[in-house]
Amino acid sequence: MIRLFATALFFVSFSAFAEDDEFSFIEEGEKNRDAVEADRAPGAEIFLLDDEDSGPEPKWDTSIIDAAIDMDVEIDDDLDLSVDGESNTFAPDFYESEDPEEDMEGFDDDVSDIPPFTDLFPIEFTTMDDGSLTFALRVLVARTKRDLKGDMWVLVDTFVDGTKTGESRHLFTDASIAQSVPTYLWIRNSIPRNGPSSEVTVKVSTSTGKTKEQLMLSRTAVYR
């Protein structure tokens, strides 16, 4: 009887030990997994949660002057940098007064005090790549619209060494004249080479169509 009880106790103890040994690897695996998780970098969801909790994105309000200071840009004290709510651009005043002729002062080729069709500009010669010779002449037609009263024809006659080599007609109307800047006629044409040197004369006349042609200017130049 005692031997039977001891045998049964041995089997029970062995079974319990075997059961504990069989599942011990599970417990050991859980310990290893906890250690690995502790050394692992934080998950992306942590940063997402931080962004969500940080509130709305701030709105930057940097003025033009602050931006210029950051870029080491010199700012003119007299320059108006006022900016409206819809645009970051500013437009300076181009005209100092309401008089277009007065505002022309200071520009290149100021002709505000010179009557139209005055002999102002020289004849310019150009030799083209193909060897042909051309001339160009600029003629002041009007300083503003107030210089033109009705339609006007401008007639151009070209002479080389006293012989007429060409003519042209140009019509100017109110629509042809600029409001507040000068209007020019550019005369440009080819001329024959009669030798190493020749004299070129350009005569400019005007007519209203109802009156006789009136010679306004004559310009002569020699090309060599």
In degrees rounded to 5, what are phi and psi of residue 50? -65, -40
pLDDT higher at 115 or 63 = 115
Task: For CA atoms 99, 178, 175, 185, give the dihedral sign.
Answer: positive
Structural domain includes residue 172: yes
pLDDT higher at 60 or 127 = 127
Structural domain includes residue 65: no
* pLDDT value for 145: 92
Q: How many structural domains is the chain composed of?
A: 1
**Listing from the earlier edge strand, what are the strands of the sheet with 124-127?**
124-127, 133-142, 183-191
- Tokens 């100017």 map to which residue? 172
When mean pLDDT is compared over 2-16, 28-42, 43-57, 64-78, the highest value belongs to 28-42
Q: Which two tokens stand for residue 204?
A: 């400019």
- Residues 5-41 have pLDDT tens digits of 445 444 545 554 445 555 565 666 666 666 656 565 5
Structural domain includes residue 40: no
* pLDDT value for 139: 97
Q: Are 163 and 201 in contact (CB under 8 A)?
A: no
Separation between Cα atoms, residue 47 and residue 53, nearest integer Å:
10
Structural domain includes residue 127: yes
Structural domain includes residue 163: yes
Domain enclosing residue 129, as ranges: 115-223
Structural domain includes residue 166: yes
CATH number at residue 128: 2.60.40.1820
Q: Are 131 and 169 in contact (CB under 8 A)?
A: no
Structural domain includes residue 178: yes
Q: Are 200 and 223 in contact (CB under 8 A)?
A: yes
Closest CA to 116 of 143, 136, 138, 137: 143
Structural domain includes residue 35: no
Q: Which helix (H) or strand (E) holds 27?
A: helix 24-39
Separation between Cα atoms, residue 16 and residue 91, nearest integer Å:
94
Query: What percentage of the chain exceeds 90 in pLDDT?
Result: 42
- Residues 197-206 have pLDDT tens digits of 999 999 999 9
Looking at residue 204, its amino acid is V
* pTM of the complete model beyond 0.75: no
Task: For CA atoms 62, 68, 69, 71, give the dihedral sign.
Answer: positive
Closest CA to 137 of 90, 65, 60, 202: 202
Longest CA span, the chain: 159
